[in-house]
Amino acid sequence: QKALFCISHAAESAIMVVNSVHWFRKCLRLHDNPALQEALNGADTVRCVYILDPWFAGAANVGINRWRFLLEALEDLDNSLKKLNSRLFVVRGQPTEVFPRLFKEWNVTRLTFEYDPEPYGKERDGAIIKMAQEFGVEAVIRNSHTLYNLDRIIEMNNNSPPLTFKRFQTIVSRLELPRRPLPPITRQQMDKCHTQIGENHDLLYSIPSLEELGFRTEDLSPAVWRGGESEALDRLNKHLDKKVWVANLEHPRVNTCSLYASPTGLSPYLRFGCLSCRVLYYNLRELYMKLRKRCSPPLSLFGQLLWREFFYTAATNNPNFDRMEGNPICVQIPWDQNPEALAKWAEGRTGFPWIDAIMTQLRQEGWIHHLARHAVACFLTRGDLWISWESGMKVFEELLLDADWSVNAGSWMWLSCSAFFQQFFHCYCPVGFGRRTDPSGDYIRRYIPILKDYPNRYIYEPWNAPESLQKAANCVVGVDYPKPMINHAEGSRLNIERMKQVYQQLSHYRGLSLLASVPTIQEEAEPPMTDESQTSSGPGRRRPD
Amino acid sequence: MHMKRMKEGEEGSDGSPSKSPPEACKKVRKMSKELEAVAATESPDGNWARLPQELLLHIFQYLPLLDRAYASQVCRGWNQAFHMPELWRCFEFELNQPASSYLKATHPDLIKQIIKRHSNHLQYVSFKVDSSMESAEAACDILSQLVNCSLKTLGLISTARPSFMEVPKSHFISALTVVFVNSKSLSSLKIDDTPVDDPSLKVLVANNSDTLKLLKMSSCPHVSPAGILCVADQCHGLRELALNYHLLSDELLLALSSEKHVHLEHLRIDVVSENPGQHFHTIKKSSWDAMVRHSPKFNLVMYFFLYEDEFGPFFNEEIPVTHLYFGRSVSKEVLGRVGLHCPRLVELVVCANGLRPLDEELIRIAKHCTQLSAIGLGECEVSCSAFVEFVKMCGRRLSQLSIMEEVLIPDHQYSLDEIHWEVSKHLGRVWFPDMMPTW
C-alpha cells in the first residue's frame, strides 16, 4: 500500500498510526539521543534495534575486547530499556536485508537513527534512506555523535576541512556553542508508545555471546574497560570529581600512573557513543565556570573532544582517508613491506621492552595512553621499521577500544608525518623515551613479567646487560626474550634521510635546513582572534625530577 | 600530492631536465611563431604530423614518461621524436618488487630499450631501489651494461632498507667500476649505504678526478679514512662531501683546505654509534680552523646518533658546525658546550633531552650563536620565561621555530595560553608550538 512519506519531521496525524524503529549504530545510549526522541515523538509503537551480522564478526578486523565491549554496551541498553518496559531488538543480518523484512513485519512508518559522518556510514545510510522512501517509511536523522555540524566547519573554511589543529580551533571558536544535550528518555515517554514484547523475543532478538561470534573465552581475563552507558555515566562523575580534587582543569600531568588504565577514562565510551560528547562538553564547561567564577573556558579545556572533532571533520568527505594511495592529503612515502617485522611489532616481540609492553597492554586490555601510542606508532613507521601507517592503523582498529575510523586513520597519518604538515625530526627513542616516561620500570615488569628481575638500569635495554646479570635475572636475551629487532641509531639515521628525501621533493626545497624541508600551509598565516586566546590543548607532561 | 603534471619547467618523474623559465619562454614564443606559420599555410588536419622536431622535443620534455610513450605510438614521426637523444639524458630507474614495496617499477622492456638504444645518451642517472635484494641486483645489472655511457651524475638511492648492502660485494663493485672507468667525467656521485670500498674509490679518482664535485657516501662501512683521503687529495674540485665520522681525519680536512683545492661548500658528517660506549676520535681545532680559513662560507652539517655518554670527544673546542641535529637524547651539559663552541651555528635540532629544563643553555645559545635562524626541540623541557627570553634575544632571525607543545613549562610569568602571544610578538609573525593528538 502506498503510504505518505516525508523526510522531514512529520506532524502528528490523527489517522495515521506511527510505528517507529530506532536504529542504534554508534550512540549506544538513552541520554542525549535526539534521534531516539524523534522515534518516540507521537509514536504508537517504538522498537529499538541493533543490527549485527555474526558471520561478519569473524571476517571483520575486530578483536575480542572490542566485541566484548560492544556486547556489554548492548546488554546495558537492553537492561535500561527493560526498566522502561521495553527491550533491545538485536537483529542478525545486514541492514539492507534486515530492514525490508522489518518494515513489513512491523508496519514501520518511521525510521530514526543518529547521523554518521564517516564516508562509509554516509554511503550505507544513503542506501537505507532510499530504501525507506521506497517503502513509504519516513527517515529521521539527527546529529549527536559530534559536537558541531561538521559541514558547517568545512563551509567556514572555504569549503575545505581545516588541516591544522590551530586553524580548526580558530574556526570552532567562531561557531556558536554546541547544541545542548537532551535528557534521557523517560518511562512516561515510553509508556505512550508501549510496545508489546513477544514471548519469543529472547529467541529471535537476543544479544549474541562472544562464543556465538566465534571467540574462545576460556582464558579470557575480565574486562578492564566495562562497556555500556551506565558505566560511562558513572565514570563521567568520577572524572569530574577527580578534576575538582586535582584542582587542575587544564593540564593533566603525565606520570607512570597515567600509563595504566584509568577508572575515569572516557575515550572508549565516546567512541561507542555510550557517553554523549556534548554531555562531557557541557559538564566540563560548567565545572570550569563554577570553579573559575563564571569565566569562559579556553578551548584547551576540551582538548580530547576537539581532536576527535578535528579528525572527523577531516575525514567526512574523504573516502580514501584511511589509505595512502588516492588520498589527497596524504604524503606518498615509499614504505617498506615486511610482514615478518609487522607481526613482531603487532605481537609485542620486537625485543624493545618499552614497545613490547605497550603492545601487550593494548592487546590484553584494549587501551593505551596517548604517549604510548606515539611511541609505538613512531617505532613502526618513520622512527624505526619504516612500515606503512596503514598496517599500524589496522592493528589498532582490531585491538583499540576507542579507535574511531576517522580518529584512528588521522592519528596514524599525523604520527607517521604523512599528513597535516608535521615536522618529522622528533623521533621517540624506544629506550630513552620509555625510561623517561617511567623511570621505575614497573610498567615493563607488569606487562612483560619475564623481565621483572632486571634492574632499572637495563630493563629498557636488556641486551646491553652483562650475561651474568641476564642469567641471574632468569631471562637471557635471545633465548627467553627476543633480541632487539633493529639497531635504533642506524634505523633512525636512515629514516630521517628518507623523510628528508620525500619532503624535499614535495616542497622543492634544496637547502640544508632539516626544519625547512616541511612545507608550511597557508591557512596558518591567518592571525588569530583578538579576544579569546586560541591556544594549544592540554598536553601531557612528565613530572619534573 | 599529485603535482607532476601541473608544474611546468620542473623535473618530471623520469628526471627530464628543467629549463629555466626565461629560456623556455623564448623557445615557446619562437615556436608559436613557427606554429602560426604552419597553421597559416596548411589545412587543419595536417598540422600535428608536421610539427617541427624541435617543437616536438620541447613538448615531449614536459610529458611524463608514460604519456610520452603513448605519444610515440601515434606515428613514425612522433616515434622518432621519442627516441631523440635529448630526451634520454636523464633517467631514473625505479626498481621495486611487489612483495616489498607499494611503488611501481620501471618496466623491464623499457629498461632493455634504454640500454639498447640510449645508453650512450644517458648523462644524469639515478636508481631508486626498495628493500629487496633483487631490486639492488637489478640496478647493478643495469650499471654493468652502461659501457658506452659517459655519466655526469650517478645516484644510488635506497628508499627503504639499504638493499645494496645485501648484494654480493664483488658484484656491486664490478658494476660500479664499469661506470667509473667509462664515464671519465663524473661530477656528482651519490652512493650512500653501499658496499663501495677503497680500491673502487681509487678507480673513481683515477678516471674522474678533474670533474668530481659532489660525493655522498654516508654509511659505507668498507671505506677507510685512507680511501677517502685519496679522493680529497686528487679531486681538487670537490665541493660537497657527505660521510661518516669514522672517515673524518685531520689529514682529510687539511687536504680539503689545501691551496689546490676549490672552496668547499658543504660537508655533511653522520656520527653514529654502533655499540654503547663506543669511542670516537677527536679532530683538532687547527684542522677546523684551516677549513674555515680556506672556505669561509662552507656549511658543516652534523647529525649525531649517539648515546648520551658518548659525547665526550665532542664540543670541547670551537667547531665551525652550521647545522646540528641530535637524533637521540643529548645531555644538558653537551648543549651547554654547544652554546660555547659553535659560533657559526645556523640550525639546531634536538630530538630529546630529558627532564631538566634547558633554560640556561638556550639563553647561552641565543647569545653566542648569532647566526642561529632555525631551532627544533622535541622531548625537552624549557620554562616559558626562559623560552620567551630566548626568542627575544634571537628576534626575527628565527625563521624556523619548531617546539613540541610539551616542551614549554608554564611558570609564574607565563601560562601556555599566553606564551604564544609573547613569542609571536618577538618573531613578528603568528606562532604556535607543534602539537600531537591527545586521544
Quote ipTM for the complex.
0.86
Q: Which of A91, A99, A93, A98 is nearest to A133 (CA)?
A: A99
**pLDDT digits 0-9 by tens, A54-105:** 777 666 788 999 999 999 999 999 999 999 999 999 999 999 999 999 999 9
Q: Which of A536, A542, A545 to mutate to probe the B interface, most B CBs <10 Å?
A: A536
Q: Which residues of chain B does A512 touch, with a Cβ-Cβ cutoff of 8 Å? A: 266, 299, 301, 322-323, 347
Residue B439 and residue A308: Cβ atoms within 8 Å? Answer: yes
Residue B406 and residue A427: Cβ atoms within 8 Å? Answer: no
Coil, strand or helix at B143:
helix
Residue B400 and residue A513: Cβ atoms within 8 Å? Answer: yes
Q: Which residues of chain A does B274 touch, with a Cβ-Cβ cutoff of 8 Å? A: 487, 489-490
Residue A336 and residue B130: Cβ atoms within 8 Å? Answer: yes
Coil, strand or helix at B127:
strand
**pLDDT digits 0-9 by tens, A266-313:** 999 999 999 999 999 999 999 988 888 767 888 888 989 999 999 999
Å from A480 to nearest chain B CA?
22
Q: Is A323 on the interface with B (CB under 8 A)?
A: no
Q: Is A295 on the interface with B (CB under 8 A)?
A: no
Q: Is the predicted pLDDT of residue B403 greater than 70, yes or no? A: yes
By mean pLDDT, which of A402-411, B2-11, B410-419 is the weakest? B2-11
Rounded alpha-carbon distances, angstroms, from residue B371 to A316, A545, B72, B365: 45, 33, 53, 10
DSSP lists the bridge partners of residue B173 as none
**Percent of chain A whose predicted confidence (pLDDT) is above 90:** 77
The gap from C-alpha A478 to its chain's centroid, in whole angstroms, comes to 36
- CB-based contact A275:A266 (threshold 8 Å): yes
Give me the residue from A303, A425, A544 closest to B438, CB to CB: A303
Beta-strand relationship, B240-244 and B266-272: parallel
Residues 6+ apart with CB under 8 A from A270: A277, A280, A305, A308, A402
CB burial class (10 A; 0-12, 13-18, 19+) of residue A475? buried
Q: Is A506 on the interface with B (CB under 8 A)?
A: yes
Rounded alpha-carbon distances, angstroms, from residue A35 to A188, A479, B254: 18, 57, 78
d(CA B313, CA B311): 6
Residue of A nearest to B352 (CA): A426
Residue of A nearest to B419 (CA): A535
Q: Is A313 on the interface with B (CB under 8 A)?
A: no
Q: Which of B190, B399, B429, B436 to mutate to probe the A interface, most A CBs <10 Å?
A: B436
Higher-confidence residue of A191 and B354: namely A191
DSSP state of A348: T
d(CA A184, CA A164): 35
DSSP lists the bridge partners of residue A92 as A52
Å from B343 to nearest chain A CA?
17
In the β-sheet with A138-142, what is the strand arrangement from edge to edge?
A88-92, A45-52, A19-24, A110-114, A138-142
DSSP state of A382: I
Size of interface A-B (CB pairs under 8 A): 205
Å from A329 to nearest chain B CA?
7
Q: Is the predicted pLDDT of residue A524 greater than 80, yes or no? A: no
- Residues annotated in a binding site of A for FAD: 304-311, 402-404
Higher-confidence residue of B31 and B181: namely B181
DSSP lists the bridge partners of residue B347 as B323, B374
Coil, strand or helix at B229:
helix
DSSP state of A529: P
Helix orientation angle between B53-62 and B21-41, rounded to the nearest 10 degrees = 130
Q: Which residues of chain B does A487 touch, with a Cβ-Cβ cutoff of 8 Å? A: 274
Q: Which residues of chain A does B436 touch, with a Cβ-Cβ cutoff of 8 Å? A: 370, 374, 414-415, 539
Torsion of CA A71, A77, A78, A83, to 10 degrees: 150
Residue B402 and residue A513: Cβ atoms within 8 Å? Answer: no
Q: Which of A328, A375, A91 is nearest to A208 (CA)?
A: A91
By mean pLDDT, which of B71-80, B285-294, B425-434 is the weakest? B71-80
**pLDDT digits 0-9 by tens, B15-58:** 344 444 455 556 556 656 666 665 566 555 567 777 888 888 88
Rounded alpha-carbon distances, angstroms, from residue A339 to A335, A390, B99: 12, 13, 10
The reported pLDDT for the residue numbered A343 is 98
Q: Which residues of chain A does B161 touch, with a Cβ-Cβ cutoff of 8 Å? A: 336, 386, 494
Give me the residue from A490, A540, A544 closest to B355, CB to CB: A544
Instruction: Please compute the mean of the pLDDT values over residues A258-272 and round it to a whole number.
Output: 94
- CB-based contact A520:B355 (threshold 8 Å): no
By mean pLDDT, which of A22-26, A221-225, B100-104, B112-116 is the weakest? B100-104
Give me the residue from B101, B193, B347 closest to A514, CB to CB: B347
Backbone φ and ψ of A294, nearest 5°: 65, 10
Convert A113-148 to b/e letters by CB count within 10 Å (16 or more is b).
bbbbbbbebeebbeebbebbeebebbbbbbbbbbbb
Residue B420 and residue A386: Cβ atoms within 8 Å? Answer: no
- Residues annotated in a binding site of A: 304-311, 402-404
The x, y and z cell numbers of residue A172, run together, are 570552532
Q: Which residues of chain A does B329 touch, with a Cβ-Cβ cutoff of 8 Å? A: 429, 432
Higher-confidence residue of B2 and A202: namely A202
Q: Is A457 on the interface with B (CB under 8 A)?
A: no
Rounded alpha-carbon distances, angstroms, from residue A269 to A228, A243, A395, A402, B85: 7, 18, 20, 7, 65
**Mean pLDDT value across chain B:** 88
The x, y and z cell numbers of residue A489, run together, are 641509531
Å from A128 to nearest chain B CA?
32
The reported pLDDT for the residue numbered B26 is 61
